[in-house]
Structure 1
Amino acid sequence: MMSEEPVPSRYVKLTKEHDAPLEEIRPGELNQPVHVPQLEVRRCAECGQPLPESYQPPGDEAWTTGICGCSEDPESCWTGLFCPCVLFGRNVERLREDTPWTTPCICHALCVEGGVALAVATAVFHGIDPRTSFLIGEGLVFAWWMCGIYTGLFRQSLQKKYHLKNSPCDPCMVHCCMHWCAICQEHREMKGRLSDNLVMPMTVVNPPPVQEMSNRNSEVPETAPEQTQHVELETQAL
């Protein structure tokens, strides 16, 4: 028998000098998300749908009517002057279909109309203590400021929906300084964009006439009953 010669090993034994330097790996470092620019998709802030790469947001437009154009719509002008709570409730209901007009109307009546009535009563009755009158005045100013913020947020939502510019300045500041004019302007803007008198043309389509199919061959004559009977066959072994 031939002596078996030892086969040299194909693996190279590494010493400490050839070992790669050990890096400190913190716990959870390998589980971090990888940033891939190709997978980033722009989405709409309102509905969340993906947007194409060439999409450019529309620029802000100017209001169709000015802040002092109340005479352009006399109906909303008189309603906003004597019943601003009703007009504000209608505006909110048009902008947010899931909110009935009564809820914002009641909130507006308590803050604005109630505050105006309290201010008139405080000015008429002079027998109130000056300190009490001062506290009432501070409360009215605070309530008016809060009402301006609340109605200003609604105006801001309207501007965001229709891409409108600030007219003439910040929405909250507009309602604090020109509250009645701002409500009328918002009503005219939505009335022009969402007109209730707009009638969409409808096409009446009549259904096709009913068609009946008749098969004369399917009628079986009564004079030949033997043709309708089954033919019985018998098989015999040969």
Structure 2
Amino acid sequence: MGEGQEWSSGFWDCCSPCGTCFLGCCCPCLLHGRTSSRLEDPTLKDDSMMNGGCCLYFLLSYCGFHFIPLMMKRGQIRERFGLEGSGCGDCMRACCCPCCTLMQHEKELESRAALLEGGAAGQQGYKAPGGMQYA
């Protein structure tokens, strides 16, 4: 595994909270959509589970390629927050246990949003990307 911070929750810690676990098992495309929204807006002020991330996950799952959007999202989360892991590990997790992968993504972003709301700006919380600057 690559160097970096540990994830806020373990990979196998996927049974709580019950609502998120249920969503991840029964409607994984919706949970993937919510995670995609949370990556852009950690506080989910404009919560939309039915978005491009949801549709992409649904379409690729229908074709048997559910692991591709999970692997890509995991890489984005790892890169943004400097978390441990690797592309190979992302692929293995996404292929072998998509529900646990979805749960870990959502819980990680949820904990980062809690840090942001709690005013822990000095910690490794969410940092909005800078706007475009023109010369």
Flag whether TM exceeds 0.5 (same fold): yes
Whether 1:176 and 2:95 are equivalent positions in the alignment is yes
Aligned counterpart, 1:131: none
Counting only pairs closer than 5 Å after superposition, residues 24-63 of structure 1 correspond to structure 2 as 60-63=4-7
Structure 2 unmatched ranges of 5 or more: 42-47, 120-135
- The whole-number CA distance in structure 2 between the counterparts of 1:197 and 1:107 is 28
Q: Is the 8 A contact 1:73 1:188 kept in 2?
A: no
In structure 1, C-alpha distance between the alignment counterparts of 2:97 and 2:111, rounded to whole Å = 21
Q: 1:220 aligns to what?
A: none
Q: Match for residue 105 of structure 1?
A: 54
Q: Secondary structure in 1 aligned to 2:12?
A: coil
Superposed CA RMSD: 2.4
Query: Counterpart in 2 of 1:66?
Result: 10
Unpaired runs of 5+ in structure 1? Answer: 1-58, 116-142, 201-238
1:191 pairs with 2:110: yes
Higher normalized contact order (CA 8 Å, seq sep 6+, divided by chain length) = 2
Distance of 1:157 and 1:177 partners within structure 2 = 19
Q: Deviations over 1:118-155 (max 9, x none)?
A: xxxxxxxxxxxxxxxxxxxxxxxxx33x4312320110
Paired position in structure 1 for 2:40: 96
Number of residue pairs matched? 109
Q: TM-score, length-normalised on structure 2?
A: 0.69
CA distance in 2: counterparts of 1:172 and 1:184, whole angstroms: 16
CA change 1:152–1:66 in 2 (3 A) is: same
Higher Rg of the two aligned structures: 1
Residues 96 and 193 of structure 1, relative CA distance in 2, 3 Å threshold: same
Offset at 1:184? Answer: 0.5
Which residue identity does 1:94 align to in structure 2? R
User: Percent identity at matched positions?
Assistant: 26
CA distance in 1: counterparts of 2:118 and 2:98, whole angstroms: 33
The structure that is helix-richer by fraction is 2
Indicate the residue corresponding to 1:234 in structure 2.
Answer: none
Equivalent residues in 2 for 1:107-122, closer than 5 Å? 107-112=56-61, 115=62
